[in-house]
Structure 1
């Protein structure tokens, strides 16, 4: 058995690399990270494996192995000896048919998500004035929608925009129907279709439909296929319903529920009004039984007595305050009289008179003492001053004689003179004088003013 299995394995190895096209069935990722699935067609099936280390390289970006996807798997054949089963070890996967479309869809989905088309979530109006529906008028989805409308609110305003919901031209028709309803003034738009194969629903995965939904000025609700079906339109819409019936329940108000709510609120409001009226009646009855309304004269008499008491208290309080203020004024007048300028001036004059007498007697005594001291010291001080003057005179006499001897005035007394220019400069060199210069000559008896006629220098000695 082992030898046979080895020969089979060697024979399969001689095939080398193979490319097998088929439909994926039951894809499964185990805990170790390896991926196992079955590749089948109408006539046969083969187990396939992608090892964890080859997974990122084997699958194109954005591609997922999904049940029913048609692919081409590249790899080598292998035999697992313990079970005697052969399998395909896959190292590259290519999408085919719907599989290729799914790969393109994933790329488009990533692009639209990056552009922000999946982030729009506007609130739905609670009571839309007009509901627009994009679907085929011959489809079960439209009949389901109308049936749900009859159950929730018969005759509620609904406007249909007919469009194919399957086929090559369906996507463009759906986009145009959405745009037409948006221009017609509806408050909310429902895009719906019944269930079907993924190929039948593919028009709702087209980019033109997604962009038409995103550009719509009113909220859009999608109800395409069954609960498990998800299309690109569902990601862009403001709200996704699982089915057309669910979409109708989402946008159409429930008249019965609203009436029940109104009835409950009416009952609650009636109960509140009754309790309020009962409370007011009770207050009115108590007021009717009150002594003030039944005997108004007594109330007036009580108020008058109260006013009299308040008046007496006010007068007594006022008189007490007046008496207190009068006493305070008397005390302040007495203090003011004691502190008046005339009284203070009289006290100051009296004090000044006493101080003046004391000062006069003190001065007289000091003068007497000083006179006595001066009398004793006067004679000795005068004699000392005379002696000082005499010594100073004797010291100044030689200096006076010397000064008198060298004085220019003494020279003038002997017949000499001093000649100066008009500016007061003593003339010592006649050559410095210009003809006509004004001179001043100082002599013993005064000054002589003259003009230079001629100036000659003293002849040099031979």
Structure 2
């Protein structure tokens, strides 16, 4: 049946078996690609370093033609690296300075191999026999140059550097692979300086395709957590291992971060696009952490210098005030002494004058006092004489006026006495009148002041009569005014 593939068409039975067809396709593929070919593409599906599948004798992965993010690759070619060819490929990588472990998914490579049809899998595959390390390194350099040119055209190369570093960092973001050597180096430096309490850590992949998503997300997270300074660090590696830090995605995330970033990528000789766009580029992760310690130490030194300047200024001011106070005190003492001496002299002069003028002044004062006493005596006598005349006149008037006044008041009193006797209730009672009270002492003036059952007290000339009000009985109106009748 295999011969019929290129033989005449008039075959008795055109049906193929799977094996025959697979062998025929394999023959066509081998005839089309009789020798080795070079193929370039991006590695995908290669087990990462540390994966147990990486230690197997043969390696299997895909070589793809990338498509826009989120889309399926434009083409996929399975690749197998047999153990017999693997040693030679690894040797080629080492000679170029590329570590074997750097070959990972996402690396753009140019490889050599034989195109074969794998019948058990029903697909063509490339049996890899060699690699072109210079192609990979050249692609990295070209991509790096293109990214730098694009960022420069948009003014992003120095944007992060325009953010001022904090004078005293209050919260430091640390973006790295948690548990890595770089992470440990940074933690040790900050812990020795007593600054580990400032650190906000966010884990991110620092190699391979995952770095393109985790690093930008981590930068956003630490900025949202309030970090005023960010450390982006990764330990040393080959150019392929550090290729993620030349990518445009990560470079843009660093350039547009609102917080200043100190990058510590690789070792002293490594230089990435991230180093170029970050605020500060440190040669190693340890050096990046040391930058933070230096910032804090500088702020502490400035504060101490300011306090020392304040203390020195205060001491100078105190010394100046003390000197001026001493000068003022000496001047005051001198002026006060002179004033006291002048005062003593004035007092002595006044005392001398007083001693000399004393007898004459005393005689003059005595004469003046005598004259004043005589004048006062005359005035007093004159006033006393006038007052005596006034008293005598008043006594005379009082002696003459009481007689007529007393006679008039006696007449008025006699008339008043007669009126009182006329109104005396005892006399009225003696003439036959009476006075009636209720038990509560209220005076009864008419029938309306009492009710049936009230106890009454009637006062007559020679005693009291007690009675009680009874209800009125029906009787002849004609006899209603007879003796013993009572209204009400």
State the TM-score, normalized to the length of structure 1.
0.42
Which is bigger in relative contact order (C-alpha 8 A, separation at least 6)? Answer: 2
TM-score, structure 2 normalization: 0.40
